[in-house]
Amino acid sequence: MNIVDVLEGRVTIQAPPEAILPYLVEPDLLPLWSPTEARVSRVGRKKQGVGARLRVELIAHGLDPVEYEIICQEATCLVSRFTGTMSGEDIWTLTPRGQRTEVHNQMLFHQPDFLTLVGWKAVGRLIAERDARNKMPLLKQAVEGRWQPEGKA
């Protein structure tokens, strides 16, 4: 499948990767930092790890829900395949640096049908780019606001 676009985001979070990963896969934590996600629910029997699926209903009117399936989940890496109006891969890399973690997100968008591609080029990319830019500081705020290092209460 041809890749037609890539969006990226980066942020450094004062927490270890294991404190950040749940924010990327747990339905009740995703809306805390991703402003376009109205409702997130699990799909199917698999609840965690590779093969687990999430259905994300978006706030924007006219957009179909998106389904994510985890295709790789490790301590410092998460890869999901997403399908909906657009499809592709959502790749998260968590690189520990002492007491901090550098978080890198890369969304690879696959070639859609012609009309969807026209819509993507006209307005879809602008919306997705704004969302990608806004969600990284919100992820940082959500994790750092709740995570407590061991030994601190």
Whether 88 is covered by a domain: the verdict is: yes
- Local confidence band at 133 (pLDDT 50, 70, 90 cut-offs): confident
- Considering only CA atoms, which of 84, 134, 74, 146 is closest in space to residue 109? 84
Residue 151 lies in a domain: no
Average pLDDT over residues 75-91: 91
Give me the pLDDT at residue 1, please.
60
Write the CATH number for 18.
3.30.530.20
Residue-level pLDDT at 84? 82
Distance of alpha carbon 69 from alpha carbon 17, whole angstroms: 20
pLDDT exceeds 70 at position 60: no
The per-residue pLDDT for 45 is 82
The pair of three-digit structure tokens given for residue 134, joined into one six-digit string? 């806004």
Whether 15 is covered by a domain: the verdict is: yes
The total number of structural domains that make up the chain = 1
* pTM, full prediction: 0.85
pLDDT number for residue 68: 92
Query: What letter represents residue 71's amino acid?
Result: I
Question: Any idea what DSSP says for residue 45?
Answer: S
For 20, the domain range is 3-146
Residue pair 50/72 in contact (Cβ under 8 Å)? The answer is: yes
